[in-house]
Amino acid sequence: MGLEKLLGDNIITTSVNSLASWARKNALWPMPFGTACCAIEMMATLSGRFDMARFGAEVIRFSPRQADLMIVSGRISIKMMPVLLKIYEQMPEPKWVISMGACASSGGVFDTYTLVQGVDQFLPVHCYIPGCPPRPESLLDALMKIQAIIGEEGERDEKEEMEIAAQLEKPASAERETTEPPLPGGS
Amino acid sequence: MNKEREITDKPVEQDPPDHLGADLLRKGLAEDPDYRGEHPEPRFFITDETEDDFGGRMMTLNLGPQHPATHGTLRVILKVRGEKIIAADTEIGFLHTGFEKLAEHMSYQQWVTVTDRMNYMSAMNNNVGYAIACEQLLGVEVPRRAQVIRVILSEFSRLADHIVCNGLAGMDVGAFSLMLWAFERREKVYDLMEAVTGTRLTTSYTRIGGVFRDLPEDFEEMAKSLVEEFRRFLEEMRSMTLGNRIFEDRMRGVGVIRGEDAVNWGITGPILRASGVAYDVRKAMPYSGYERYDFEIPTQEDGDSYARFVQRLAECEQSLDIICQALDDLPDGPILSEDKKISLPEKDEVHQNIESLIHHFKQIMFGHGILPERGREVYSATESPNGELGYYMVSDGEMNSYKTRVRPPSIFHFAVLPQLIEGSMISDAIAVLGTLNVIAGELDR
Amino acid sequence: MRTTLTPEQITERLAKRFAEGVAAHLPPGEGSSQLAIVGRDLLLDVLSFLKSNPELSFDFLMDVTAIDHLHFEDPAIGERFVTVYQLYSTTHNHRFTLKTPVPEDDAQVPSAVELWGSALWAEREAHDMYGIRFEGNPDLRRLLMPEDFPGFPLRKDYPLRGRGERDAFPQYLDSGPVSRQAAGASAEDAPEGPGNGEGDGE
């Protein structure tokens, strides 16, 4: 933008979106929807040895209204699925979902009458973790992948904003383009 | 927001949430006459008096199914006036997975892996219990080394279960570091389990007729150092909680179960023994060679949450004693039954030897496998960390069992919860739930 | 005074007390323990005898479950369902198993909840899974399945993967509760044989 030259080395300029996503990805507040064995490994990830706090995601929120990352860990039965949806609906945007373990991702070995065969039938899932149950390292890896996704979203938003700004700065001769600015996120 | 999010969100938007879960979550006790199902006269009927003498109102409070203090997918519906619980009801089944139905469609060896997922806090005890039931069904002898290995590992599993239960119970009443300490020690048990079985949590270690593979070379050293560490840790846990004023005030006199009530309600395990009844399957009907070890059944008198906490600590000591004795007389020998119709041959043998190949084929291929006698049935009980874990199996002579029933200890413990917490404070309900150690996986199966 | 009795001795005592009403049954195979089969009209008498007789004094009702004998007919039972009671005595340290045949068209049996509190949820689960009514049980709501679930999953004519409830559960919630008796009795699905791909091994 040319502003950096005036401000010197001590100031970084960025867009609001980039800043927000940078903040978001480094301070995720997980909502642990733990039901079964995977929940035990999730608790292991949160506690001493693996210490999810190293990745800025230690503030476990059992209240969905304060959380932005849902970790669905464990088997989800047809009796539990409405509860899961309810909690997902209560989480404020933007929100991300990790489907931890084989059962949450696909039903796993339990191809039975009562188990939902993958929560992605009902929720948008951003990251799947294989394993039954996955090791804590896998959950940390998934967390980093989610951080990467959030970062990319911020960069993409920033790029789009720059494009829009460039479009707006164009001289009035390009009339037909300014009447219809490109949609944000249009692919 | 960006467009991609909107697109992926669509399936949810198309199904408005109200008909999905709202009525499930809003269901109260007295408001909904259909809630009682076929029986209009409920056990915990609540009179519809809305105000008490001081103008306080009765309200319905949902504890669960997703609540940090329930440690699983349990739901307790409370009718409260202020902090006081007037009536309580429970609902389970949120983790019902159909294990018993699955057992009717899987072969006997395959179902070992499913038993892990029942009580995931102590998977090894489930494995052992199931293997023993199958061995009784088939009439197989287990080599002595395999028996001792099973004893050692299930006692370690019991230790992990007990300390985590105590740690979480501590967390529920405010001693958060207790939980962190317990988890750290449990990681040590997992290290040991991983060295032996290859996995941390869901071990799937037993096979019908023995165990999956032999112990690693340095097992004895690892186990002994872990035993020493556990002795220190139990002392730490004791010094932190017992005699602590806050802890005792929260736990004492809460959720009292009398001995005869416990027996009547089918309560087993540490909870029964904390009420003064010395029933332990390991002593009463020894299995897997428990009669060879010298250990005691500790009991407590009070039957409250505090007694259950102390009881679990005392049982940990006994488990450590059993492990030491078992390590000292760990015999050499085979780890799997020699019966080729039961145990799978070594993989190298299968590749080089036609007989082994045939045995392997016969066991794995559909329609063969392990075939118990038609009409044979067995009820086998083992002592899991939570209490008596029973497997009732009926065979119709096919490769999968005709009926497999698991008698989970937790279901009988959770059934009494409303009686324990009615009339007490909400915070007491949490202290009671913590020491009952209800594991949703085995509760719902 | 602890006198551990074998299942044979226990059935002997039952036969002495109830004569024809109790049939001894020994499952095949080496080391099987004998059990008793009793008609449902005598069930409560037998159970209370087992509990109160000082020689037997079964103070624990460990478990109540049921078996669906649809694909595996047992001549000793003769009916489609059978409820199974597992008993244990802390005084004498012995176990015993009792079975009661339950016909399909009139699937009900008296409840043991007056004798043992543990029967409350154990019977509730058997009711949930098999649709057997335990007369006298004060709390026969569904235990594990949702309240409005149509069908009894552990019956042998109910398929392992269900009848589509798991894929379309909001719709089945929408359709409202289906009559339980109607849902249980109509076995429109072909009985699922053991060979449905699950047991294939590797």
- Alpha-carbon gap, residue B399 to B137, rounded angstroms: 13
Question: Is residue C171 scored above 50 in pLDDT?
Answer: no
Domain edges within chain A:
3-179
**Distances in whole angstroms, Cα of residue C148 to Cα of each of B88, B90, B97:** 22, 17, 17
Which residue range is the domain that position B284 belongs to? 99-424
Check CB contact of B36 with chain C, cutoff 8 Å: yes
Q: What pLDDT sits at residue B132?
A: 92
State whether C65 and B392 contact (CB < 8 Å).
Answer: yes
Contact list in C for residue A82 (CB cut-off 8 A) is 169-170, 173
Beta bridge partners of A34: A73
Q: What pLDDT sits at residue A181?
A: 52
pLDDT tens figures, B287-333:
888 999 999 999 998 888 999 999 999 999 999 999 999 999 888 88
pLDDT class for B120, splitting at 50, 70, 90? confident
Distance (Å) from the C-alpha of residue B53 to the closest C-alpha of chain C? 32
State whether C161 and A112 contact (CB < 8 Å).
Answer: yes
Q: What pLDDT sits at residue B231?
A: 92
pLDDT class for B28, splitting at 50, 70, 90? very low
Question: Is position B116 within any domain?
Answer: yes
Residue of chain A minimizing CA distance to B92? A79
Domain edges within chain C:
1-141, 145-188
Class of the C1-141 domain? alpha beta
pLDDT class for B70, splitting at 50, 70, 90? low
Question: Is position B445 within any domain?
Answer: no
State whether B415 and C143 contact (CB < 8 Å).
Answer: no
* More confident site: B174 or C180: B174
Closest CA to A148 of A91, A79, A96: A96
pLDDT class for B162, splitting at 50, 70, 90? very high
Question: Is residue C182 scored above 60 in pLDDT?
Answer: no
**Distances in whole angstroms, Cα of residue B76 to Cα of each of B73, B303, B323, C120, C141:** 10, 22, 38, 17, 15
Question: Is position B410 within any domain?
Answer: yes
Check CB contact of C105 with chain B, cutoff 8 Å: no
Question: Is residue B418 scored above 70 in pLDDT?
Answer: yes
State whether B376 and C201 contact (CB < 8 Å).
Answer: no
Question: Is residue B140 scored above 60 in pLDDT?
Answer: yes
Distance (Å) from the C-alpha of residue C41 to the closest C-alpha of chain B? 23
Q: What pLDDT sits at residue B318?
A: 92
Distance (Å) from the C-alpha of residue C122 to the closest C-alpha of chain A? 20
Phi-psi label, residue C93: left if phi above 0, alpha if psi -120 to 50, beta otherwise: left
**How high is the mean pLDDT of chain B?**
81
pLDDT class for B3, splitting at 50, 70, 90? very low
Those residues with Cβ within 8 angstroms of residue B79's Cβ, 6 or more apart along the chain or in another chain: B29, B30, B46, B58, B59, B60, B61, B85, B86, B87, B88
CB atoms within 10 A of CB C61: 28
Question: Is residue B52 scored above 80 in pLDDT?
Answer: no
State whether A185 and B4 contact (CB < 8 Å).
Answer: yes
Tell me what percent of the residues of chain B surpass a pLDDT of 90: 24
Report the CATH number at residue B213: 1.10.645.10
Question: Is residue B116 scored above 70 in pLDDT?
Answer: yes
Q: What pLDDT sits at residue B154?
A: 92
Check CB contact of B20 with chain C, cutoff 8 Å: yes
Least confident of B275-279, C111-115, C196-200: C196-200
Tell me what percent of the residues of chain C surpass a pLDDT of 90: 11
Element (H, E) at B225: helix B219-241
Question: Is position B18 within any domain?
Answer: no
CB atoms within 10 A of CB C1: 6
Closest CA to C153 of A119, B445, A76: B445
**How high is the mean pLDDT of chain C?**
78
Q: Mean pLDDT over residues B3-32, rounded?
A: 36
With a threshold of 0.90, tell me whether the complex ipTM lies above it.
Answer: no
Residue of chain B minimizing CA distance to A75? B95
pLDDT tens figures, B179-198:
888 888 889 999 999 999 98
Tell me what percent of the residues of chain A surpass a pLDDT of 70: 88
Distance (Å) from the C-alpha of residue A109 to the closest C-alpha of chain C? 10
State whether B5 and A124 contact (CB < 8 Å).
Answer: yes
| Nearest by CB: A115 against B2, B20, B98 | B98
A3-179: CATH architecture: 3-Layer(aba) Sandwich (3.40)
Beta bridge partners of B392: B379, B405
pLDDT class for C31, splitting at 50, 70, 90? confident
State whether C161 and A79 contact (CB < 8 Å).
Answer: no
Number of domains, chain B: 1
- Alpha-carbon gap, residue A89 to A3, rounded angstroms: 41
Check CB contact of A156 with chain B, cutoff 8 Å: yes
Identify from A35, A89, A120, A137 which residue to disrupt to test chain B contact, counting B C-beta atoms within 10 A and taking the largest count: A35
Looking only at the bridges linking them, the beta strands covering C22-25 and B403-407 are: unpaired
State whether C116 and B43 contact (CB < 8 Å).
Answer: no
pLDDT class for B16, splitting at 50, 70, 90? very low
State whether B183 and A44 contact (CB < 8 Å).
Answer: yes
| Nearest by CB: A113 against C160, C170, C173 | C160
End-to-end CA distance of chain C: 54
* Number of Cα atoms under 13 Å in the Cβ half of residue B81: 17
State whether C145 and A116 contact (CB < 8 Å).
Answer: no
Least confident of B27-36, B183-192, B246-255: B27-36
Question: Is position B60 within any domain?
Answer: no
Least confident of A9-23, A36-50, B364-378, C172-186: C172-186
E strands in chain C: 22-25, 35-38, 60-68, 81-89, 94-102, 108-110, 133-135
pLDDT tens figures, B218-237:
899 999 999 999 999 999 88
Least confident of A113-122, B163-172, B341-350, C106-115: B341-350
